[in-house]
Structure 1
């Protein structure tokens, strides 16, 4: 049970439909190797990677590397189809963008469906592996964060015309649901953290909720975090890969830059908003935000950081097999949130 608050059933549904409600048995690597060889005619060394919910592998072959992803059994096939369709759309309409590519099976399909022992289904896909360093592991300068912002702006411009039957999926990471997840604070063991979360919920209610129905919406990437942006510091354009469309959804456009900004808050203690400001400046140069959206952006970034901290606490208790991954991505969230709140732009 997520919480005893009135929105408990809604929160539970969000977690379930986001594939985060429970742990699942990891898929057998030997089975993955067999399926990839049979349906894609590729083989090599298969290395399991830590991820939030999928079973993910790096496949090293003699002629190039691939990323093999197997969806969790509680993620609907329609949602996986949405993720694939987004990448296909960008490949067809904005080929200049360095978006991860989907490899077809030898029969021309986007994926392979496999059944679990309890009768559910999982979807296996093979994607191109984007080589390089992720932004999270670099010491980027403000102008490079701005370059990353420009890239997300270009992605959002390209996605403006995209539609899909599953794009209105229920997703716990979608910031528009933030006010209905206040009950998660009950599961945060530190009273100081719960207090910080409460302050952000109050800010969101005052600054964002009155405008939610009037914000411009479209399909967005949904998780353009520093862990999903591959970069080359020696290249002028800096960003060489955009990966992981697992949280793509139709939502307010302003929430898309809020995600990476949340990841950048508080990392420079002397100026907690320095990197987030640089990212936002780059984004708005390419994809301007309206007068109604700009004041929403910093509060949305605070909300997303709070949401990640709360979900990490909740997941660490209920999905021990993903605990290390979750905590590695969110280990400084509460410290960074406190710093950012203290220096919040008015």
Structure 2
């Protein structure tokens, strides 16, 4: 009899695995994708593979339209994919005026196709309308345009308020509510000053957010309203013309939804690192006001999210030596922005958020 002497996986390891961050899979053959699209969607055309975190993703150009084709990784549970699709379809049916990416149905009226692979595992193929335009990350928005982006997330969260799904309590490493349970990731960060910054943020989160976690207002949220998932048009009155990628949708604390774009905006203006993040939240609160008692937690949650991104990038760099240089270079800016943002009094940031809230109440 063989005895398994390997240590039991930690909470962090289990969460990273459940989030699809520990495994890799062979890219799906584009010929197989084309066969399924022809059979189930009556679609054919020119394929372009796009780089994404987990899915196999393609841009499909037909004679008349352009589509986004996604094939879920084999590790992603089917109910989780169904949650993402259901949230998008809920928004289409209850808030059709919002520019959320649309799900294209099959010829039989289904919203996905199950692909059974040779190894016995299943993957989910879905087709979406392709949202053309510039992403916010490539734009240079002023405060009012950032507020417009914030308004859009507020409107989405209002529309998702009553939505529920059997898989909406999924585990996801990117969900900020788990941040305090991922302290072991610090050990994968090579620079001592980065480890010190991370521990400072863990301390802030532990003192301010953790005692309040159970009582925070919750609902299903977008989960990744980053500047790369917001399509904009500077000439449009609405500014935001597309919202894409519901891959991190789940039920969590409401404040963790605006905390994600806040984290992405921290440090954009080095002399005033919180300026753009606060502009975004001012817009968000016009549509989805944050409870006064929860507002002080928002800057800490944003710092936690930015720190988490840097920590996971460092952890990935250790696991993928061939991409180490690329990954560490990308994490470097995150650490700089964490340090810049920590240097500002969070009481002052909260005061600024409160002023903006009252200015639009």
TM-score, L = length of structure 1: 0.95
Aligned counterpart, 1:284: 285
Q: Distance in 1 between matches of 2:238 and 2:72?
A: 32
Alpha-carbon distance between aligned partners in 2 of 1:39 and 1:329, rounded to the nearest angstrom: 39
| Counterpart for residue 275 of structure 1 | 276
The CA deviation at 1:19 is 1.4
Deviation at 1:10? 1.4
2:314 and 2:331 in contact (8 A); partners too: no
Offset of residue 324 of structure 1: 8.8
CA distance in 1, matches of 2:171, 2:37: 30
Conserved in 1, the CA contact under 8 Å of 2:188 and 2:318?
no
Question: Is 1:35 matched up with 2:7?
Answer: no
Aligned 1:226-237 pairs, distance under 5 A: 226-237=227-238
Name whichever of 34-43 and 220-229 sits farther off.
Answer: 34-43
Equivalence for 1:84: 85
Deviation at 1:118, TM superposition (A): 2.4
Deviates more, 1:200-209 or 1:10-19: 10-19
Unaligned stretches of 5+ residues in structure 1: 1-5
Looking at structure 1, the residues matched to 247 and 119 of structure 2 have their Cα atoms a distance apart, in angstroms, of 24
Q: 1:3: which partner in 2?
A: none
In 2, distance between residues paired with 1:241 and 1:7?
43
Equivalent pair of 2:225/2:261 in contact (CA under 8 Å): yes
Secondary structure class of the residue paired with 2:182: helix
TM-score scaled to structure 2, two decimals?
Answer: 0.91
Distance 1:331 1:37 in 2: 44
Say whether 1:294 aligns with 2:282: no
Correspondence 1:167 to 2:168: yes
Cα drift, residue 13 of structure 1: 1.7
Which deviates further from its counterpart, 303-312 or 322-331? 322-331
Cα distance in 2, alignment partners of residues 264 and 331 from structure 1: 15
Tell me the residue number matched to 2:307: 306
Q: Which moved more, 1:80-89 or 1:114-123?
A: 114-123
Cα distance in 2 for partners of 1:319, 1:149 equals: 35
Deviation at 1:162, TM superposition (A): 0.1
1:45 is matched with 46
Residue 184 of structure 1 is matched in structure 2 by 185
Q: Does the 8 Å contact 1:24/1:72 carry over to 2?
A: yes
How far did residue 109 of structure 1 move? 1.1
Q: 1:133 to 1:321 in 2, by over 3 A?
A: farther
Describe how 1:50-61 pairs up with structure 2 within 5 A. Answer: 50-61=51-62
Following superposition, the deviation at residue 12 of structure 1 comes to 1.6
For 1:136, what is the secondary structure of its paired residue? helix
Q: Give the Cα–Cα distance (whole angstroms) in 2 for the partners of residues 7 and 248 of structure 1.
A: 29
Shift of residue 317, structure 1, vs aligned partner = 2.9
Deviation at 1:293, TM superposition (A): 1.1
Contact persistence 1:86–1:162 (CA under 8 A): yes
Write out per-residue CA displacement over residues 62-82 of structure 1, whole angstroms, 9 at most, x where no aligned residue: 211100001111110000000
Distance 1:52 1:129 in 2: 18
1:327–1:98 distance in 2 versus 1, CA, 3 Å:
farther
Number of the residue aligned with 2:256: 255
1:93 aligns with 2:94: yes
RMSD between superposed Cα atoms in Å: 1.8
Deviations 1:221-276 (A, max 9, x none): 00000000000011121000010000001000000000000000011101000100
Unpaired stretches in structure 2, ≥5 consecutive residues? 1-6, 348-361
Report the Cα offset of residue 113 of structure 1: 1.0
Structure of greater relative contact order (alpha carbons < 8 Å, 6+ residues apart):
1
Q: Say which SS state the counterpart of residue 105 (structure 1) adopts.
A: coil
CA offsets per residue over residues 66-99 of structure 1, 9 Å max, x none? 0000111111000000000000000000000000
Q: Is the CA contact 1:50–1:325 (under 8 Å) kept in the aligned structure 2?
A: no
Deviation at 1:344, TM superposition (A): 4.0
